[in-house]
Structure 1
Amino acid sequence: MNVNYVRYGALYFAAMVVLAGVSVMMTRVLGFGFPSGAASIIPPMAAALFEGQQAGRAGARPSGRALWAVAFAMTGVAVLINGAIAAIFLSMAETRALLSQVPLRYFTGIAALLIAAVLLVNRFFFGIGLKSGLAKGTK
């Protein structure tokens, strides 16, 4: 099965940028922002769904173990992207001052929960996209 992780990363990042823009617009127009939980889940959902459709159209029929391997690799891409963004923000003194008020174990726990959520979203939405792509490919 051939999964394009660069395309997954590009779609993931594009979805993050679009959701950030939507959140800013919502804050200015409606007075409240986009829910952060949804902003954490929608980018991997969209990217995994698209990649699953592409793999399905190519005729891939992976086992459950292969689906989990793809999900772990996709989650690694997401962690790398978010790590790069975090490194940029941590280079700012204001961000470091704000984060110094939060105990590291809380920050680490939240990050671990988000990574686990992204893993599950990648696994299940890649599978949904795969089924969709297989159905479209056979017609």
Structure 2
Amino acid sequence: MTTITPKTARTPFLGHYLLVLILAMVGLMALDVAMGSLLAFDLPPGAVAIIPPMLAALLTGNRWANKIGVAPEARAAWRLALVGGALYGAIQLGIGFFGLATYSAAVGEPAGMQAMVIILAFSLVLAIVAGLVNRWFIGMGARGALKGR
């Protein structure tokens, strides 16, 4: 088993979390497009927004427990959860501003400040919620891995 302490890695498994998060986001977008075109049914926006960080945190907690052999300490789990939530909020902010810029270019008018503030506020709320959800699911994934031993 690998021993990872705060001295060897400040936020261990953050790369794994980010990889799973991006893959889950892309996978859900593809599923949503396929369902929309084949079944004329879209996934609920709330599900599309919260499932990627839930899945990423669950699998990262599971990997953490399998690699290290113990559940993450509270401080390390909170750090991973909050940094992961902040990264998710930043990704959503980038997607929102890209969508706004694309829309503005399509209609030929610049985006208003109000739309930018709404995207910023939504991304901030989503980052906070994702951080809290991450903490819950990191612990759940780690406990599940340890019970399976």
> Aligned match of 2:146 in 128, 134, 138?
134
**Closer/same/farther in 2, CA of residues 56 and 67 from structure 1, 3 Å limit:** same
User: In structure 2, how many angstroms separate the alpha carbons of the residues matched to 1:27 and 1:69?
Assistant: 37
Structure with the bigger RCO (C-alpha within 8 Å, sep 6+) is: 1
**Closer/same/farther in 2, CA of residues 60 and 36 from structure 1, 3 Å limit:** same
Contact 2:57 2:134 in 1 (8 A): yes
> Aligned match of 2:126 in 111, 114, 122?
114
User: Residue 7 of structure 1 aligns with which residue?
Assistant: 16
User: Residue 123 of structure 1 aligns with which residue?
Assistant: 135
Alpha-carbon displacement from aligned partner over 1:85-120 (angstroms, at most 9, x marks no partner): 445445532389585385444333322221111111
> Aligned match of 1:59 in 66, 69, 79?
69
TM-score normalized by structure 1?
0.81
Q: Which moved more, 1:20-29 or 1:81-90?
A: 81-90
Gaps of 5+ in 1: none
Q: Which moved more, 1:123-132 or 1:70-79?
A: 70-79
TM-score normalized by structure 2?
0.76
- Matched AA of 2:136: F
Alignment of 1:71-82 (within 5 A): 71-82=81-92
**Matched-pair identity in %:** 29
User: Residue 41 of structure 1 aligns with which residue?
Assistant: 50
User: In structure 1, how many angstroms separate the alpha carbons of the residues matched to 2:54 and 2:107?
Assistant: 28
Deviation at 1:49, TM superposition (A): 0.5
- Matched AA of 1:94: A
User: Residue 25 of structure 1 aligns with which residue?
Assistant: 34
Contact 1:13 1:81 in 2 (8 A): no
Alpha-carbon displacement from aligned partner over 1:64-83 (angstroms, at most 9, x marks no partner): 23221111121233234334
User: In structure 2, how many angstroms separate the alpha carbons of the residues matched to 1:96 and 1:67?
Assistant: 46
Gaps of 5+ in 2: none
User: In structure 1, how many angstroms separate the alpha carbons of the residues matched to 2:115 and 2:97?
Assistant: 18
Deviation at 1:61, TM superposition (A): 3.3
- Matched AA of 1:117: V
Which structure has more helix as a fraction of its residues? 1
- Matched AA of 1:14: L
Equivalenced residue count is: 137
**Closer/same/farther in 2, CA of residues 98 and 34 from structure 1, 3 Å limit:** farther
